[in-house]
């Protein structure tokens, strides 16, 4: 027993000796140093941005790892989330305005998130059924390239669809929760940020639990690791692929609705989260879902620090440089890829 504990302890240490472990430690140290230097709001910003980024990039990593699709329309599912959030929350606000005692004051924002999640999931199912299943049926030759082009096309259609039906103006809300900011030590955090943080934490935790312990979650991982193996043990591919797509779109939509108080809805709102999520996915190693969660926080920290120390125009430049360096020196990402990458197949 003691030996086993000792053994697993050393395994953990060895894990932290790897590139992934080193980068996690560096991230934590840098985050702490910056916090001491400039104040706790940096840490809060990093965690809120990172949490939401994790939702988007987990979905992206999942589509890449399981469906083998380099998804460039993922930001548009974020956009769908913001749109659903805007309309649902406005309806709820209107109702709350005339019934100020209603319990919707508290539950309204959560309802909004759930609505965005459901619509996002439905959008994912439709995308899979109408686009990728059709492509899969017709040809699996040159799959990665064809799927990539389709996602770019889908992105254009969705962005312009938004503009056509909902207009190109900013559709934002004042905030989910009114009331004074919460103070932790001497850091003031707006209630909305706390809300976004809790949503992100709960969803990431649920998602991790789902992927690790449930039969269906394991089946998704099995498909990502070996499609033929999954078929052999009796996993129905079509169902799993559809579920994965809807799951990853739902995650993006949750992030969209969760950040609505910061980013109003407009047609090309999805571009920034898409790029950031790609940074994360490349950094983590293509298709590595749990690594993507870690790397989301790293990229968020990098972004927050860049804005803080260099200036707010640079927050895309620095991560881009990092990505170029990674692609040159460690193309498999710092966490290695848990699943086959896009190019293996």
Partner 1 sequence: MLLEVKKLNAGYGYLQILRDVSLNVDTGEYVCLVGPNGAGKSTTLKTIAGLLSPTSGEILFDGEPIGGLPGNKVTRKGISLVSEDMNLFVNMSVEENLAMGAYIIRDKKAKKKQLEFVYDLFPRLAERSGQLAGTMSGGERKMLAIGRGLMANPQLLLVDEPSFGLAPQLTENVFQSLDVLVKKGLTIMLVEQNVTKTLEVTDRGYVLENGSIELSGKSSDLADNPHVRKVFLGV
- Residues engaged in binding partner 1 (CB under 8 A): 215, 218-219, 221-222, 225-226, 228-237, 338-339
From the number of C-beta atoms within 10 Å of its C-beta (0-12, 13-18, 19+), residue 238 rates as: exposed
What do you get for the CA distance between the two ends of the chain, in Å? 43
- Residues 6 or more apart from 289 whose CB is under 8 A from it? 58, 61, 62, 65, 211, 338
- Among residues 174 and 232, whose Cβ is nearest to partner 1? 232
Evaluate whether 53 touches 45 at the Cβ level (below 8 Å).
Answer: no
- Among residues 234 and 313, whose Cβ is nearest to partner 1? 234
- Among residues 231 and 327, whose Cβ is nearest to partner 1? 231
- Among residues 283 and 339, whose Cβ is nearest to partner 1? 339
- Residues 6 or more apart from 117 whose CB is under 8 A from it? 250, 253, 254, 257
Q: Which tokens is 4 given? A: 């086993």
**DSSP per residue, 165-186:** HH-SS-B--S-SS-SPPEEETT
State the virtual CA torsion across 222, 341, 55, 41 in degrees, nearest 10: 130
- Among residues 118 and 290, whose Cβ is nearest to partner 1? 290
Least separation in angstroms between residue 226's CB and partner 1 is 5
Least separation in angstroms between residue 246's CB and partner 1 is 20
- Among residues 214 and 320, whose Cβ is nearest to partner 1? 214
Least separation in angstroms between residue 230's CB and partner 1 is 8
- Among residues 230 and 255, whose Cβ is nearest to partner 1? 230
Least separation in angstroms between residue 213's CB and partner 1 is 10
Least separation in angstroms between residue 219's CB and partner 1 is 7
- Among residues 138 and 215, whose Cβ is nearest to partner 1? 215
Alpha helices in the chain (DSSP H): 2-17, 19-38, 41-62, 74-98, 104-127, 133-138, 143-166, 191-213, 215-225, 227-232, 237-258, 271-284, 289-309, 317-329
Of the candidates 55, 258, 269, the residue with the CA atom closest to the CA atom of residue 159: 269
Of the candidates 215, 196, 192, 194, the residue with the CA atom closest to the CA atom of residue 204: 196
Least separation in angstroms between residue 236's CB and partner 1 is 5
Evaluate whether 67 touches 79 at the Cβ level (below 8 Å).
Answer: no
Q: Which tokens is 122 given? A: 């439905």
Least separation in angstroms between residue 222's CB and partner 1 is 5
Least separation in angstroms between residue 266's CB and partner 1 is 40
């Amino acid at each position: 027993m003691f030996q086993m504990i000792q053994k697993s302890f050393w395994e953990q240490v060895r894990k932290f000796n790897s590139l992934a472990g080193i980068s996690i430690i560096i991230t934590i140290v840098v985050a702490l140093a910056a916090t001491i230097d400039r104040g706790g709001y940096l840490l809060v910003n990093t965690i809120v941005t990172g949490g939401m980024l994790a939702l988007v990039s987990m979905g992206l990593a999942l589509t890449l790892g399981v469906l083998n699709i380099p998804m460039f329309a993922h930001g548009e599912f974020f956009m769908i989330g913001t749109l659903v959030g805007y309309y649902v929350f406005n309806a709820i606000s209107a109702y709350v305005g005339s019934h100020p005692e209603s319990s919707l004051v508290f539950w309204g924002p959560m309802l909004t998130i759930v609505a965005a999640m459901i619509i996002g999931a439905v959008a994912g199912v439709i995308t899979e059924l109408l686009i990728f299943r059709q492509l899969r049926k017709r040809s699996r030759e040159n799959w990665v390239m064809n799927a990539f082009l389709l996602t770019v096309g889908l992105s254009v259609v969705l962005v312009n669809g938004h503009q056509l039906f909902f207009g190109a103006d900013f559709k934002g809300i004042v905030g989910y929760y009114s009331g004074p900011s919460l103070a932790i030590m001497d850091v003031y955090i707006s209630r909305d940020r706390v809300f976004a943080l809790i949503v992100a934490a709960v969803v990431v935790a649920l998602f991790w639990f789902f992927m690790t312990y449930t039969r269906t979650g394991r089946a998704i991982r099995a498909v990502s690791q070996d499609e033929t193996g999954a078929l052999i043990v009796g996993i129905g591919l079509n169902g799993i692929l559809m579920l994965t797509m809807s799951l990853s779109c739902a995650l993006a939509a949750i992030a969209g609705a969760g950040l609505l108080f910061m980013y109003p809805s407009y047609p090309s709102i999805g571009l920034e989260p898409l790029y950031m999520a790609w940074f994360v996915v490349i950094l983590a190693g293509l298709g590595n879902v749990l690594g993507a969660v870690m790397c989301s926080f790293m990229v968020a920290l990098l972004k927050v620090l860049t804005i803080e120390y260099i200036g707010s125009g640079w927050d895309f430049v620095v991560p881009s440089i990092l990505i170029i360096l990674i692609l040159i020196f460690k193309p498999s990402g710092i966490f290695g890829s848990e699943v086959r990458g896009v190019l293996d197949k």
